[in-house]
Chains A and B, each alone.
Chain A
Amino acid sequence: MARAAKNATPRSPATEPGEAVRAGVTVALAAYLVGLVLAIATNSLSGSSALLGTVKSRLFSPLLVPAWLDLGYDHRFTYGLDEDADHELELVPHGGAAEPLQLPGAVAGERAARWRRLARTIAVGGLDGDGSPVAAGVGRGGFARLGTTDVDLRVFRLPQPERTAAADAAAEQVVAARIRRVADDVQLIREEPRGEVAPLVRQPSAAAEGSR
């Protein structure tokens, strides 16, 4: 024991923080823990109350948001819903028969997961909501890669068959848009599903036929 103690590497003396430092750190820690609880409570999938949202945004957001700490950590992974399925992007020159640029394509791992998150943002946000500017940005970024200023963007939702259902299902196209540059403006033209834009034609009823 004595030899072990003799051979032990000498340690520099611990620097004990003084009372004032401890008090300051205690206040900072307590404040941060309140901020952490508020961040979780207000970033929930269920939404947040106006009270908690206001308190957090006034007192904590200026510090937590820039540090990427204003997070809900609501890592649910899946509820088995459509929006939880994998999404993929496709860009192709408008009207052309060129090979489409598929993203993530053949890449795998976290890199592919980032492309799928981007595709999901466009799909779940929808072109009427927050997904529109993202879709326009992706299309704009596709101009250089495809060598054109007029592209078609599509987002596909990959099949998520039920355990009890047949496994073979096709990917579903959930977003389709044309993005083009006209002068200095980038335009996004949503492609409506055929049923939404086709004129509805009623079959003439027998009574109407008779009145003629």
Chain B
Amino acid sequence: MNGGESTARPSTVGDTWMRFWFSPAPVRPLAIIRILTGILGLLLAWSYADDLQAWFGPAGMIPRDVAAEWRPRWGVSLYDAATTSASVTALFAATVVAFSCLVVGLGSRLAAVAGAVLWASLLHRGPMLAGPADDCLSVLLWCLAVGPCGGDLALDRMLAARAGRAPPAATPWASVALGLLRVHASAIVLAAVLAQLKGDAWWNGTAAWWLASRAGAVDLREAYLGSEYLMNLVSHAIVAFEILFAVGIWFTPVRRTVAAVGLVAWPLIGLLAGEPLWGAAMAIFAVAALLGKPDTGT
């Protein structure tokens, strides 16, 4: 049972599983994702700020009973207990503080858990207002809560260094968090592709036209009027890239290339689709695939 025999042994599913989830990974990638997620959280929270009372205040347009009726069974919200304007504002302010703590890395893991709980509460308070970027932020926050996201590029790290504590080594918990991020990146994109391919527009190449008609999207209709092929190319390129990303991030030889392309492609797709913050969220998932540990066993 020497080392040579051990390395020559064919890799089993169990080995691959253990290597993927538990081989130690550095904490810096998770720290970068923490900062980007915090910024995304602040941007999405900002979109609620001006209308917070108009929607969720005591005389708001989305009364608590309507939200409770709309959300699925088991859906709960801390905002259900917020019956005054001040309490609604306080809960929202706590959400903003949690996201700010993620950006600077103060109490990072606690901030990730608090941010995830408060964000889910906000979305459950008005489920009909939630969009694709909100879903992705929720996933990012829960994944950050799993790993040591404050181990680098953080005030937590500075305070620990001042107290004489050495920076954390590579850890399996970072590996679990980065692994979950990659699994979700693939799952989210595959689900989106499957949904898109149920519609004719994504097969006959007119989807780009309809996307350009949406408010908030980059209006390329003039260009598409000039060239039907361009419109078809953009429609098919979106689907092709999504499939490439969902599959490619699982193959070591192309993973970093696909993820690097994703850093540019996702924001572009977000702009074309009129969902720029969704594009930004997907780019954060691409960062996880780009910076994640290389030895996945695939």
> Chain A: residues with CB nearer than 8 A to chain B?
9-17, 22, 25-26, 29, 33, 36-37, 40, 44-46, 57, 61-62, 65-81, 84-86, 107-118, 121, 130, 133-134, 136-138, 140-145, 158, 160-161, 163
| Main SS at interface, chain B | helix
Known contacts A61-B73, A74-B195: A36-B21 contact under CB 8 Å: no
Decide if B43 is an interface residue (CB 8 Å cutoff).
yes
Partner of A77, one of B17, B54, B135, B196: B196
Residue among A25, A29, A68 with most chain B CB within 10 A: A68
Contact A80 B129 (CB under 8 A): no
Contact B62 A137 (CB under 8 A): yes
Residues of A within 8 A of B253 (CB): none
Contact B210 A80 (CB under 8 A): yes
Partner of A160, one of B133, B196, B213: B213
Q: Could you tell me how many residues of chain B have their Cβ less than 8 Å away from some Cβ of chain A?
A: 88
Partner of B21, one of A29, A44, A160, A161: A29
Residues of A within 8 A of B198 (CB): 45-46, 76, 79
Contact A73 B135 (CB under 8 A): yes
Partner of B54, one of A10, A62, A145: A145
Known contacts A36-B187, A137-B61: A14-B192 contact under CB 8 Å: no
Decide if B30 is an interface residue (CB 8 Å cutoff).
no
Residues of A within 8 A of B133 (CB): 110
CB-defined A-B contacts under 8 Å, sample of 19: A13-B169, A16-B24, A25-B21, A65-B75, A66-B74, A71-B138, A73-B188, A77-B196, A79-B201, A86-B214, A113-B215, A117-B128, A117-B129, A134-B62, A141-B60, A161-B213, A163-B221, A163-B225, A163-B228
